[in-house]
Amino acid sequence: MNLKGKTVELRAIKKEDLVTLNQWANSPEIQYWLGTWHFPITETDQEKWFNSLSTNSLHQRFAIEAPELGLIGTANLVDINWKDRNAFHGMLLGDKDIRGKGYAVDTVMAVMKYAFEELGLERLDGSMIEYNVASLKMYLGKCGWKEEGRQRKWYFRKGKFWDKIIVGVTRDDYFTLIEEKKYGDK
C-alpha cells in the first residue's frame, strides 16, 4: 500500500530507482548529513542491496515521489518491534535544491500517519548528528518529535567528533500535533 501525504507519495523502491539511489549513496554531500557510513558502492552492490531488500514486515523502505518531480528521496520504517510497538525511522531528500520546501515534513507526517493510524505502533525512534540543523528543525520544530537524549562524541566527521541526538515521537505526541495543526484537514 502506498502512503499518501498532502503532496508526496511513498511507494516501494523499484529497480529503475537504483541509478539515482546509487548516486545518492555515493554523494559526499548527502552522506555528510547521515548517521550511517559506508565505503563507495558500485551499481552492482546497489543491485545486491535491492535484491536483498526484506519482504518481511520488519523493515519497510519507501521511495518518496513528488508531483512533476518523480523520485526525490527515500524514507524508511525499520526494526519494527511488534511486541513493544516501536520502530526506527529515517529519511533523505537527494537533491539540495528541493530541500526546505516542505516535502520532508509532508513525508514524516505520512510515515507517522501510517505508523500510528495503520500499524498501531506506540512510538518511533530517530537520531541525527548534532550539526544537522535542518533535520532537527524538521523533526523537533515541525513534526512533534522530542529530543530524548544525547550520546556524546558518537560520530567522527571531517576530523572532529560530534554528538548523536536521540529523538522520538509517541502516538500521543502525533495526535496532539495533528489536532493542533489540523494537519489531516485538506
Ligand X SMILES: CC(C)(COP(=O)(O)OP(=O)(O)OC[C@H]1O[C@@H](n2cnc3c(N)ncnc32)[C@H](O)[C@@H]1OP(=O)(O)O)[C@@H](O)C(=O)NCCC(=O)NCCS
- Residues near ligand X (CB under 6 A) are 30, 33-34, 90-93, 99-105, 128, 132-135, 137-138, 142
C-beta closer to ligand X: residue 18 or 134: 134
The minimum distance between CB 126 and ligand X, in angstroms, equals: 7
The minimum distance between CB 91 and ligand X, in angstroms, equals: 5
The minimum distance between CB 106 and ligand X, in angstroms, equals: 7
Q: What phi, psi does 10 have (nearest 5°)?
A: -105, 120
Q: What phi, psi does 125 have (nearest 5°)?
A: -110, 155
CA 167 – CA 3 distance, rounded (Å): 23
C-beta closer to ligand X: residue 104 or 121: 104
The minimum distance between CB 3 and ligand X, in angstroms, equals: 16
One-letter-per-residue 3-state SS of the chain: CCEECCCCEEEECCHHHHHHHHHHHCCHHHHHHCCCCCCCCCHHHHHHHHHCCCCCCCCEEEEEEECCCEEEEEEEEEEEECCCCEEEEEEEECCHHHCCCCHHHHHHHHHHHHHHHHCCCCEEEEEEECCCHHHHHHHHHHCCCEEEEEEEEEEEECCEEEEEEEEEEEHHHHHHHHHHHCCCCC
Query: Which residue shows C-alpha cell 505508523?
Result: 115
C-beta closer to ligand X: residue 114 or 155: 155
C-beta closer to ligand X: residue 99 or 171: 99
C-beta closer to ligand X: residue 121 or 143: 143
The minimum distance between CB 124 and ligand X, in angstroms, equals: 13
